[in-house]
Chains A and B, each alone.
Chain A
Amino acid sequence: MENDPIVVMKDKCVGCRLCIKSCPFGAIAMQEKLAVIELTRCTLCGACVPVCKFKAIEMRKKDAPVAGAVADLSAYRDVWIFAEQKDGRIQSITYELLGEGRKLADQLGMSLCAVLLGSGMSDKTAELVQRGADRVYVVDAPELAYFQDEPYAAVLIDLIRRHKPAIMLCGATTIGRSLVSRVAVNVRAGLTADCTGLAIDPETKNLMQTRPAFGGNIMATIITPKHRPQMATVRHKVMKEALVDASRKGETLIEKVAAEVLKSRAQRVKFVPEAETTMNIAEANIIVSGGRGLQAPENFSIVRELAEVLGAGVGSSRAAVDAGWIPYSHQVGQTGKTVCPKIYIACGISGQIQHLAGMSSSDIIVAINKDPDAPIFRVATYGLIGDLFKLVPLLTREFKKALKK
């Protein structure tokens, strides 16, 4: 027990149960009128510690050596971002990472570096410099033309070991999450998932990484105090894109890697672009979504028409996907995509917690629903109460006028 990382001091606990309520993980229970922490369930988040009025809960402060801890943190310098590209085009998440990375690098007095893996992409480095990179590491090889988990991870591991960055950011995209989870294990780094906020602790200079968990119901701030690099994936559409400044100067370093590093056991057999030619909703600045309130598959045209006028992507609730009205790739929510557009318009969606988990961090939320008590109105910036079959087509017409289309 002495070595337990968190303890309830039996002489201080009065059995008031306050800690039980405070625990987001249900890890505390009463046993013989005293609080007992179920350690296999506890995440050591510390939420219970300040709640106890009797100071009966203590977290063990430990300065014992931690496995894989870096002895000299100052040997790790610079803020790195992974420059995601598809078909040779730099993805917008990359510009968001550059925008955020620039701020962090300036606060730390470090350089901002972009890592670009691809084939025949050397001419794209200027774009990265103009958006804020002081240095671009390029690895150019046919094996890197498109994303492959193994060689991409191996190259990144190689570069990190050689150059020792202090921070490494990557988009929390499908590619990003598959990639850096592998990398972090190998370089023994901490990896914080899907961050929506990043800041530097003014005292310790640690990266404070804030992220939603539990489907967006709680937020956690996470640090990696003793390991380097401090790695994080960053949610798409949350950070501001870095602007182009054509006068910026930066250097490009072409890195060579051993042939071994480029090997992949898994191989792409084929690639089929999304059948429906509408845009990827994770990229969309505006999303118009439809739910069960549409009542029939053909009524999705109402939503599509509004989306077209607004230049928006089309999203949906799970109910609409399960009914077969629209493909799964359009589903927003806990078991679908997490989106964060500037404007999200929900038509005939009730706003169950699993749906909200995927869209509640949108800038502006518009809800259209005939039920004034629908939970979607609680997160809506603007709500229209009424029949969507009247409201949505009218909205399309009015927007057409307003936008002079």
Chain B
Amino acid sequence: MHIVVCIKQVPDTADVKIDPKTNTLIREGVVSIINPFDMYAIEESIRLKEKLGGKVTAITMGPPQAENALREAISMGVDAGILVSDRAFAGSDTWATSYTLAMALKKIGDYGVIMCGKQASDGDTAQVGPGIAAHLDLPQITYVRKIEEISADHVVGERLLEEGTEVIRAPVPCVLTVVKEINEPRLPSLKGKLAAKKAQITHWKADDLKAEKGNLGLDGSPTKVVKIFTPPARQGGQIFKGEPEEIVPQLVEKLKDAVIAAAS
């Protein structure tokens, strides 16, 4: 099976700090990493390949530097990387992003399972995976935490809903989005690192996709960001310290009404 895993390069939020004075993001020196959820998608793709045979291609839409993300995926065991990059994609919202990725997938053609992370840690929408499924008119299983069964023509996945676990069977091709619980991503092997260094990354531009220009980038995006701001900092709260026997009743007094209100 040809498994295609969609990955996004994001700023490492473990590095992101807030400037306490200006209450803005300090981005200097923040490195770019593969979106944490996509690491699970990569790992699962490699495991499926190990079971079924075939190959795994990683694809990303992003700036030229996103090539690093593809090489990292290859170092883990992915076979090939495709970078979809063009100024024409600037300002893509999730509609245009999922359209662009869907057109790239059409160009790939023989995809079986399309694997995505649950959501990206910067845009945070969780809309691109189902968006790809919609553009390609494929079935989807979102929030997958376990793949119970996979063959050339179907997949059985377990997904975590708010109130329990659902097991779903879908025909292949289909789109899966995965959560953290699904696996423990492997570290790159030495052989993998060498392969990553040597790998030829395929570059596709807008013209390489049979895309309608009007559907790309800003023009293809129905949503417009009109304002970005940092949330108001929470007021520093009231701190109690001292003997437990003294401070606990004080806190209970403060909270009692809110607890009663919350219960009703």
Contacts and interface: CB of A to CB of B under 8 A. Distances in A.
Contacts of A215: 13, 16, 121, 124
A120 to B, nearest CB: 20
Interface in B91-144: 91, 93-95, 98-99, 121-131, 133-135, 139-143
Nearest to B91: A44
Interface stretch (B45-53, B165-173, B188-196): B165-173
A212 B258 CA distance: 26
Contacts of A385: 239-241
Interface string B39-74: 000000000000000000000001110000000000
Contact of B218 (A5, A193, A268): A5
Contacts of A182: 130-131, 133-134, 140
Contacts of A125: none
A394 B225 contact: no
Contacts of A390: 244
B124 A212 contact: yes
Given A265-B171, A382-B238, A68 B231 contact: no
Given A181-B134, A335-B36, A343-B262, A366 B125 contact: no
Given A26-B27, A311-B263, A190 B93 contact: yes
A282 B237 contact: no
Given A190-B223, A193-B124, A283-B162, A24 B237 contact: no
B240 A45 contact: no
Contact of B167 (A44, A47, A183, A268): A268
A285 interface: yes
B125 A270 contact: no
A267 interface: yes
A164 to B, nearest CB: 15
Contact of B181 (A38, A190, A328): A328
B91 A5 contact: yes
B215 interface: yes
Given A174-B160, A213-B123, A395-B248, A39 B90 contact: yes
Given A45-B225, A270-B167, A354-B14, A360 B234 contact: yes
Given A178-B142, A186-B134, A271 B164 contact: yes
Interface stretch (A107-115, A127-135, A248-256, A396-404): A396-404
A41 interface: yes
A301 interface: no
A267 B169 contact: yes
A217 interface: yes
A377 interface: yes
Interface string B221-252: 11111111111001011111100110111011
A364 B127 contact: no
Given A219-B228, A227-B222, A185 B162 contact: no
B229 A219 contact: yes
Contact of B248 (A26, A357, A378, A391): A391
Contacts of B221: 190
Contacts of B124: 193-194, 212-215
Interface string B194-222: 00000000000000000010110111111
A158 B240 CA distance: 57
B152 interface: no
A26 B11 contact: yes
B13 A334 contact: yes
Interface stretch (A72-80, A97-105, A272-280): A272-280
Given A42-B91, A391-B244, A222 B219 contact: no
B231 A398 contact: no
A354 B238 CA distance: 23
B10 to A, nearest CB: 9
A167 interface: no
B237 A266 contact: no
A136 interface: no
Contacts of A43: 91, 225
Contacts of A221: 225-229
Contact of B180 (A178, A190, A208, A335): A335
Contacts of B228: 24, 45-47, 218-221
A382 B225 CA distance: 35
7 contacts: A42-B91, A45-B227, A173-B162, A191-B222, A268-B166, A379-B234, A386-B247
Given A184-B131, A219-B229, 17 more contacts: A5-B91, A5-B217, A23-B27, A40-B89, A46-B226, A149-B130, A177-B142, A215-B121, A215-B124, A218-B231, A265-B139, A266-B140, A269-B168, A273-B164, A382-B239, A384-B248, A394-B248
7 tightest A-B contacts by CB? A190-B222, A67-B214, A181-B130, A193-B125, A185-B134, A40-B63, A190-B223
